[in-house]
Amino acid sequence: MSPAPGQEDADAPAKLRVPSTTVEPLHRARLFALLDGEEGRNPVVVVSGPAGSGKTTLLATWAAQRSDARVVWVTVDARDDDPAEFWPTLRRALGPEPAADFAAAVHAADTPVVLILDEADHLRDPGILAGLETLIRQPPDKLRLVLAARTPPRLHLSRLRLESRLVEIGPAELAFTRAETEALFDRLHVRLTPAELDQILRRTEGWPAGLRLAAMSLGERTTRAARLAAFPADDRAVVDYLTEEVLGPQPPHVHQFLRATSVCDRICADLATALAGQAESGEILDRLERANALVTRTDEPGGWYRYHPVLRDVLRAELDRRHPLVRRRLNHIAAEWFRDAGRPLVALRHAVAADDPGLVDDLLAAFGLREILSGRAAELHRLVSRLSPDTLARPLNALIAAAAALDVSEISDADRCLSIVDRSEQPLRPGRVRALHAAVVLQRAGTFDALSATAAGKTGDDDLDTLTLLNRGVAVLAQGDHAEAEDVLLRALQIAAHGKREHAVLLCRIQLAAVSGARGELSRMDERAADAISFAAERGWARTPHCAPAYTMRGALAYLRLDHDEAVRFISLAKEVQACSPAALVTHLIDAVISHGTSPSATTADQVRDHWRRLADAPIPRHVAAYLATTVHRIALTTGQLDWASDVLRRVAETLGGSGEHAVLQAITSAHRAKPGQAHRLLAPVLTGDIPVTAVTTPIDAWLLEASLLSRAGDPHRAHSAITKALTLAEPLWAAQPFRAAGVRDLLVKGTGRFGKLDRFVSAILAALPVDPDVPVDRLTSREHDLLLELPSMRTTEEIADSLFVSVNTVKTHLRGIYRKLGVNQRRDAVTVARERGLL
């Protein structure tokens, strides 16, 4: 039996010694854990992967730290695929006995035995494989057989796999993780920025040989940027390695096949045949995949394969150097194939690579809008950004590019494309192009001027009509025409759903939720927004920027209802996914308002102010401004920032002049300046309904201010009546936030028990409102607290004593303690003070 690692026989041939490495190897704990397995449970380990995947290095490193086992290493070569050579080699490594008697030798060993057969794919002889299968079927208890090869060995392993007694480590496991890559480069004294590391991982996918070659190439910091840009396609070391280890062993027709098909990111047999002209394409792909030649089968239905990025880039570079015209022809073939297969964006990518403007024009005209409305605008935007100036100069191409840019909130790109159309000497023909121009201008600027002169929305082209109606619905909603917005968006939704343009369906649903919010139907808004999010989640879109408005609406409603946790959750989701847009500014403002409400300070107030000012030039809808203005105005006044408060008032006058919102803000300002009479006069037309309001919360704010003014004037009865009217309006919405902002806790406490069916809502508000922390309260005992909970009821002392299973005298003793600690003399006052202090 061979000695432990590090104690090998110096006279043993190299093939029977654990290989050494020139660089201190990396300790890959996650793979060591797989190799160790469960003693007696996993007798066989198969490590397979392409050239350069680190199989030998991994096993040598693992073997060196297996002090608890006798490690026997054999590096198999082609000569060993002969029983007359293999078994003597094994005897030299294991001892004098052939494999049939090896079990007895293992049983007699003092420690577990690990037999590692490296490069085991050389073993094909039936007799050798039969001998190995004998060890696998009847393994000695102390034996662990490890087989390393580029391709899985030709052994019958299905039963072991079924019984979970086989450990398999393949290319996916052998690939380096980000942490392992960082550790490797650190060990090789190559310091990378996070962006450089991302780029290397993206190009190598953690392939160990690729990483080591990259480290060699990037050692010199002065030339790193250029070398990184050239890696791997123009890196001589990479090209030589792949030529020797991967491409060299392939026959010429397979090398030509790989080169021709490398123009595609994914390849199937039919596409490969079209590109390479070889009828046996499916067989070639299957053999390459089985041979672990950096070709893997994907999960995509239809027998699709992909080449490792390093191999693909090297093959493409070779094609560019040797046959540039062939590369263009191959991309043209691929473009037509993918167009006919119903994958227009992939077709467009190849048409651009083929530098075929006619095919690009045809693809954009036929599929551009469809791809945007189906949720693939981001990919389309990336592709059209690569178009030549001449191709983009055609109006239809520029308009589709602008629509894609707007969908992904790349406003500057959209403006550049629209300016191309404006400067173009080509007329906007046919009518479809004019209608598309009107729709895109409407989406960008919210102007209807060009729309009326076209058939936009009624062209009969479902994609164009969907885009037009959707943009029109958004625009009329921003202008405050809720009825038309609902009608137009429902029509857009119907067309989009019929055509299965699911991205457009999502956008329509979100905008319909916004319509409900603008109408004051807040529960309906929440329901529609939740449905839109569910619709998006089912399609993997829940974390995309288009869902941000739905999250913002749900977060704003949660804030209105004083549901702090839900408000923070939804607003955080909106911030996480949204792109830079006016809607994002609104989200950040609401987030700042929530933060200020939770922990008010000069800093949080300044954040609210800064976000408000960023909205100055943003085209936000009227109803959004109406909902936000009162809250922002109050924060400005309470923090003494009168210039800011005046700015809010001025902007509301410009946006919502003559509305109830403007009157309420003026009244709040008058009350703040100790002019209650003026405040009453300003509120009067809002309270009577003579002035229209935009936000459903505005009348609530008006009645709360009226209640506060009456309370300060010493008119408790009318104050109670006013706050009851505010509660009546707020309760169906469960809108508790206005009561917190108005500072009417005392009025709610004093009126508790007199609000009738509204008392439940009042209790919920009081539970959510902060208690004055400066009021000292002696801590109640647990018994006193239990009794306090009974005091709001109409039960007598005797009934309470009976329910608490104590005597009447005990109840009276606890009552005196409660009265003393709350500073009151009677039961009703105890309930009032307890509510004021948040004890009830």
Supply the DSSP string of 584-624, one letter for each residue.
HHHHHHHHHHHHHHHS--HHHHHHHHHHHHHTTTS---HHH
Look at residue 776 in the predicted model and tell me its pLDDT.
46
pLDDT(470) > 90: yes
Q: What is the mean pLDDT of residues 201-209?
A: 93
Does residue 824 or residue 685 have the better pLDDT? 685
pLDDT(151) > 80: yes
Look at residue 824 in the predicted model and tell me its pLDDT.
84
Look at residue 773 in the predicted model and tell me its pLDDT.
47
For CA atoms 610, 613, 614, 619, give the dihedral sign.
positive
Token pair of 582 as six digits: 């006016």
pLDDT(71) > 60: yes
Q: Which of 347-356, 562-571, 615-624, 720-729 is predicted with the least confidence, judged by mean pLDDT?
A: 615-624
Q: How far apart are CA 267 and CA 256, in angstroms?
A: 15
Look at residue 375 in the predicted model and tell me its pLDDT.
94
Percent of the chain's residues with pLDDT above 70: 92
Look at residue 12 in the predicted model and tell me its pLDDT.
65
pLDDT(3) > 70: no
Look at residue 576 in the predicted model and tell me its pLDDT.
92
Reported as a pLDDT band with limits 50, 70 and 90, residue 225 is confident
Reported as a pLDDT band with limits 50, 70 and 90, residue 731 is very high
pLDDT(784) > 70: yes
For CA atoms 497, 502, 505, 509, give the dihedral sign.
positive
The dihedrals phi and psi of 145, each to the nearest 5 degrees, come to: -100, 125
Look at residue 37 in the predicted model and tell me its pLDDT.
78
Give this prediction's pTM. Answer: 0.77
In sequence order, which residues have a C-beta less than 8 Å from that of residue 599 and are 6 or more positions away?
none
Please write the tens of the pLDDT for every residue from 86-107: 877 877 776 555 445 566 666 7
Domains and CATH numbers, the chain: 14-174 (3.40.50.300), 179-358 (no CATH), 578-585+593-768 (1.25.40), 782-836 (1.10.10.10)
Please write the tens of the pLDDT for every residue from 357-384: 999 999 999 999 999 999 999 999 999 9
Reported as a pLDDT band with limits 50, 70 and 90, residue 448 is low
Distances (CA, A) of 159 to 129, 163, 166, 598: 16, 6, 9, 62
Q: Which of 672-681, 721-730, 828-837 is predicted with the least confidence, judged by mean pLDDT?
A: 828-837
Reported as a pLDDT band with limits 50, 70 and 90, residue 621 is confident
Reported as a pLDDT band with limits 50, 70 and 90, residue 550 is very high
pLDDT(580) > 80: no
Look at residue 5 in the predicted model and tell me its pLDDT.
44
Q: How far apart are CA 202 and CA 643, in angstroms?
A: 52
Look at residue 657 in the predicted model and tell me its pLDDT.
80
Look at residue 11 in the predicted model and tell me its pLDDT.
58
Look at residue 677 in the predicted model and tell me its pLDDT.
92
Q: What is the mean pLDDT of residues 749-775?
A: 82
Look at residue 777 in the predicted model and tell me its pLDDT.
47
Does residue 388 or residue 425 have the better pLDDT? 388
Percent of the chain's residues with pLDDT above 90: 57
Look at residue 662 in the predicted model and tell me its pLDDT.
95
Q: Hey, what amino acid is at 158?
A: S
Look at residue 140 in the predicted model and tell me its pLDDT.
78
Q: Which of 124-133, 429-438, 738-747 is predicted with the least confidence, judged by mean pLDDT?
A: 429-438
Arithmetic mean of pLDDT over the chain: 88
Look at residue 838 in the predicted model and tell me its pLDDT.
63
Which residues pair with residue 116 across a beta bridge?
A: 73, 146
Please write the tens of the pLDDT for every residue from 637-661: 888 888 999 999 999 998 888 899 9
Going through 175-273 in order, the beta strands assigned E by DSSP cover none
Q: What is the mean pLDDT of residues 268-286?
A: 95
The dihedrals phi and psi of 556, each to the nearest 5 degrees, come to: -65, -40
Q: How far apart are CA 45 and CA 157, in angstroms?
A: 10
Contact, 458 vs 426, CB < 8 A?
no
pLDDT(729) > 90: yes
Reported as a pLDDT band with limits 50, 70 and 90, residue 222 is low
Q: How far apart are CA 762 and CA 770, in angstroms?
A: 14
166-169 and 44-48 as β-strands: parallel, antiparallel, unpaired? parallel
Q: Report which of 142, 112, 147 is spatially closest to residue 132, judged by C-alpha positions.
A: 147
